[in-house]
Amino acid sequence: MKCDRSMLLLYAVTDRAWTGKKTLLQQVEEALAGGATCIQLREKELPEEEFRQEALAVKELCRRYHVPFLINDNVELAVSCGADGVHVGQHDMSAADVRRRIGPGKILGVSAQTVEQARQAEEDGADYLGVGAVFSTSTKSDADAVSHETLQKICAAVSIPVCAIGGIHKENLHLLKGTGIAGVALVSAIFASPDIRKSCEGLKKLALQINAQDTLEALLHTNIRGAIFDADGTLLDSMGIWDTLGEDYLRTKGKIPRENLRETFRDMSLLQAACYYRENYALTESPEKIVEELNAMIASFYEKEAPLKEGAAAFLEELCQRNIKMCIATATDHSLIRAALQRCGVLHYFTFILTCGQAGAGKDTPAIYEEALALLGTGKEETYVFEDALYALKTAKTAGFPTVGVKDPSSAGQEREIIKQADYYLYTFTK
């Protein structure tokens, strides 16, 4: 397991000073359940054998949540217990020596406070940097503070991701927007909270918001020359129509939908759903007529209502200004997507709309992306696929495309895995 930007988004650093009635292991699990993307076990005074047993327990917990587990300072323990990596400070073993000891496969994090330290750490084999304290904190003196200007310079000076640390909490986290950080490392903001899981959920949302601007900027400064966009859930805020279609249709017939109808409808074709409605709600229309009426509702939504996601139009304009070729690759009917994009005023940005029907396969195979690539005429390594669905992202990535995950409520249960799979993740198109 090696480091990527998504690992640093919400980096939880333990401190047993706030365990109270809970064990440290219980606190760590609450943080993981709340969305922590990395755990660093930090113990300054625990006897070595107790530290080892604790490390093994936390490691297994992190494995269950598929989250990296690092140990602070204790390089030998990190190696012997099979941790994913180690984090060291400027006054610990040198980064070069640590890299030689842990080998190339483990994650190495290094603390830095200056551009010179940051560059040296990268040269010595660091995979990421922890930079701080970015705010005043009771555990750091003013002399240890790192200004936001210095933080920006460090982020710009190195190619490895940077995690901000020190005095960060929900009220000041937004002030780090625009610095270029990949994420935030938190101690008391997580482990001193009476509800660790809830705190992590809120902090992760804030971290995603500040990361979005920097992700957009980073993306625009890659080698991108072509963009293949999914429509529903990626550019269009349209997935809700499919969730409520059955319920809305039955209400037009004066019927009261059952509570679990959405789950029932989700795995059905329109014809199967039509037969189900007819049999279970005493409808007199034929299945074919019901399908016709459902399609009319869908068409009306795309033609009159389906909105673009916030910031999408401005983002498309920026890509256009940079002469980046764009197209749509969608499973939805061509005429529906065309109507929605035209009404939203963005159709002219796209060279063409390609559907799964035209490609002859769904997005569980790369056929639609490969055909779109050929039509765009750009190189695969410079053509980015934008998707909100995990399975589609996996397909594109396996086929060798750079990928951009886009947040959508319909994929909330898979967000952690989407962030892990995608090369970039956009919480929003808004800068």
Please report the DSSP string for 160-209 in residue order: S-EEEESS--TTTGGGGTTS--SEEEESHHHHT-SSHHHHHHHHHHHHHH
199/137 same-domain check: yes
261/387 same-domain check: no
92 is in an annotated binding site: yes
Q: Examine the pLDDT at 142 and tell me if it is beyond 50.
A: no
Residue 245, in any domain of the structure:
yes
288/339 same-domain check: no
94 is in an annotated binding site: no
Q: Examine the pLDDT at 1 and tell me if it is beyond 70.
A: no
134 is in an annotated binding site: no
265/191 same-domain check: no
40/164 same-domain check: yes
Higher confidence at residue 82 or residue 1? Answer: 82
Token pair 């010595």 in the structure block, residue: 124
355 is in an annotated binding site: no
pLDDT at residue 168, rounded to an integer: 95
Centre a 10 Å sphere on the Cβ of residue 210 and count the other Cβ atoms it contains: 21
Q: Examine the pLDDT at 286 and tell me if it is beyond 70.
A: yes
Q: Which of 227-236, 254-263, 301-310, 371-380 has the lowest mean pLDDT?
A: 254-263
Residue 153, in any domain of the structure:
yes
Q: Examine the pLDDT at 141 and tell me if it is beyond 70.
A: no
167 is in an annotated binding site: yes
21/93 same-domain check: yes
Q: Count of domains in the chain?
A: 3
Residue 57, in any domain of the structure:
yes
Contact 163, 128 (CB under 8 A): yes
Residue 431, in any domain of the structure:
no
Domain span at 346 = 221-237+307-426
Q: Return the active site residues.
A: 42, 111, 140
328/391 same-domain check: yes
Q: Examine the pLDDT at 213 and tell me if it is beyond 60.
A: no
Which CATH number fits the domain that encloses residue 70? Answer: 3.20.20.70
pTM of the model: 0.58
pLDDT at residue 179, rounded to an integer: 86
36/67 same-domain check: yes
152/197 same-domain check: yes
Contact 128, 8 (CB under 8 A): yes
pLDDT at residue 266, rounded to an integer: 62
Q: Please state, rounded to an integer, the average pLDDT across all residues of the chain.
A: 91
Which CATH number fits the domain that encloses residue 418? Answer: 3.40.50.1000
Residue 257, in any domain of the structure:
yes
Q: Which of 62-76, 170-184, 359-373 has the lowest mean pLDDT?
A: 170-184
Contact 331, 262 (CB under 8 A): no
11/124 same-domain check: yes
